[in-house]
Amino acid sequence: MSGIGLPPEIKKRIQEIQVRLSDLGNQFSQNLLDATNSFELVLDRLEDVEGIPESDLNAAKTEDGKYRFTLHMPSYMAYMTHGPNRSIRESLYKAYTTRASQNGKLIENILLLRNELAKLLGYRHYVELSLATKVADSEKTVLKFLRDLAKQVKSIAEREFVDLSNFAKTLGIDSLQAYDAAFVSEKLMKSRFDFDEEETRPYFEKESVVSGTFQFLNKLFGLEFRKTSAQVWEEKVQVYDLYRSGKLLSRLYLDLESRKDKQGGAWMHNWHSRNRIANEEILPTAFVVCNFPVSTKDSPSLLKHRDVVTFFHEMGHALHHLCTKIEEPPVSGINGVEWDAVNFLPDFWRTSRLKREF
């Protein structure tokens, strides 16, 4: 995909496009992070935070007794799920969904450059170029999959929307909006199933989830995670060396809590891949990065069930990369795995881990 064999002037242009696309992608992410960090909403009326769980209120509380909510996911979702003031939920939602609006121009430039790159490499358009390294063999296959999926779930989604809308009316919300969905869903679960997700969070304390996962992996695969000291970029980052039968296999970094200078979402990054140069063995190294609730000296990081599922998923990626025996970097660990198939092992691990028998 680098244009090897093409005339020098075309290879030069391909390299220019690739560098520019990298710069635009970084600028896009930085704009999004800057916009996320620039917003905060400070509340000083108790009626505006009534019903929000104590752990979330503790995280939001300022030194002068007010409550600060931001667009970082733990803070944002705390208010969107439990915040009683509808107009505040609307303000937060609009602020979140309109972050970094200047990125629209970047998207246009990215699309133009991707299309040019594809044509220089002999493809009709960027979709065709993208699918050249994926399991799906054509755009028709992708569209058929999406349309079949939509056909299967559309009627279910419509029924659930009507159900949620009807329940919203009992809360005084005549027209259900996107910024009401999490709040109304939480109320519906409590009313219909007498289920409050907050009651499960003490069982999902972050350190307990990590420790329990490691114990399970030891039981299932004979893997041992030994905490070690290493230079890290933030004091809460934890580092583990991974052993099997006393032999060092790899190293894992866990960066799990949200913070201001951190991009949103969750991901696994492969820093080093298993390799052998002459007689030197290079062991794989991976980072698992999440944005879980922040712990303080007075309160631990309490996860929701979906946070636990996210951790299992990213650990699936990490295991795929860290446990490989292949010493050719282009196909070692997750390298060389098609991006529309790379989630198979994490999804299998995540799903099986949640089964009662495990």
Catalytic residues, which ones? 314
Closest among 284, 352, 275 to 319, alpha carbons compared = 284
108-117 — which CB contacts under 8 Å span 24+ positions?
109/24, 110/21, 110/24, 110/25, 110/28, 113/17, 113/20, 113/21, 113/24, 114/21, 116/17, 117/14, 117/17, 117/18, 117/21
H or E segment at 261?
none
With tokens 């007689």, the residue in question is 279
Distance (Å, whole) CA 252 – CA 60: 30
- CB of 257 within 8 A of CB of 295? yes
Cα 212 from chain centroid (whole Å): 21
With tokens 């931001």, the residue in question is 70
